[in-house]
A and B are shown apart, each in its own frame.
Chain A
Amino acid sequence: GQQLNQSPQSMFIQEGEDVSMNCTSSSIFNTWLWYKQDPGEGPVLLIALYKAGELTSNGRLTAQFGITRKDSFLNISASIPSDVGIYFCAGYSNRDDKIIFGKGTRLHILP
Chain B
Amino acid sequence: GAVVSQHPSRVICKSGTSVKIECRSLDFQATTMFWYRQFPKQSLMLMATSNEGSKATYEQGVEKDKFLINHASLTLSTLTVTSAHPEDSSFYICSARDRRAQGYTFGSGTRLTVV
Binding site for B on A (CB under 8 A): 1, 33, 35, 40-45, 48, 88, 92, 97-104
- Interface of chain B residues 74 through 111 with chain A (CB within 8 A): 91, 93, 95, 103-109, 111
Instruction: Answer whether A99 and B46 are a contact pair too, CB < 8 Å, given A42-B106, A43-B106, A48-B103.
Output: yes
B52 to chain A, nearest CB (A): 14
Question: Could you pull out 24 A-B pairs where Cβ atoms are within 8 angstroms?
Answer: A1-B60, A33-B104, A35-B106, A40-B109, A40-B111, A42-B93, A42-B107, A44-B106, A45-B103, A45-B104, A45-B106, A48-B103, A88-B43, A97-B49, A98-B46, A98-B49, A99-B34, A99-B46, A99-B95, A99-B104, A101-B44, A101-B45, A103-B42, A103-B43
Task: Give the B interface residue count (CB, 8 A).
Answer: 22
Point out the residues of chain B lying under 8 angstroms from A43, CB to CB.
44, 93, 106
Point out the residues of chain A lying under 8 angstroms from B70, CB to CB.
none
Where chain A touches its partner, the secondary structure class is strand
Interface residue B6 (Cβ < 8 Å from any Cβ of A): yes
B111 to chain A: closest residue by CB: A40
Q: A35-B106, A40-B111 are in contact. List 7 more A-B contacts (CB 8 A).
A: A41-B108, A43-B44, A45-B103, A88-B44, A99-B34, A99-B95, A103-B43
Nearest 7 interchain pairs by C-beta: A42-B106, A42-B109, A101-B44, A103-B43, A101-B43, A42-B108, A42-B93
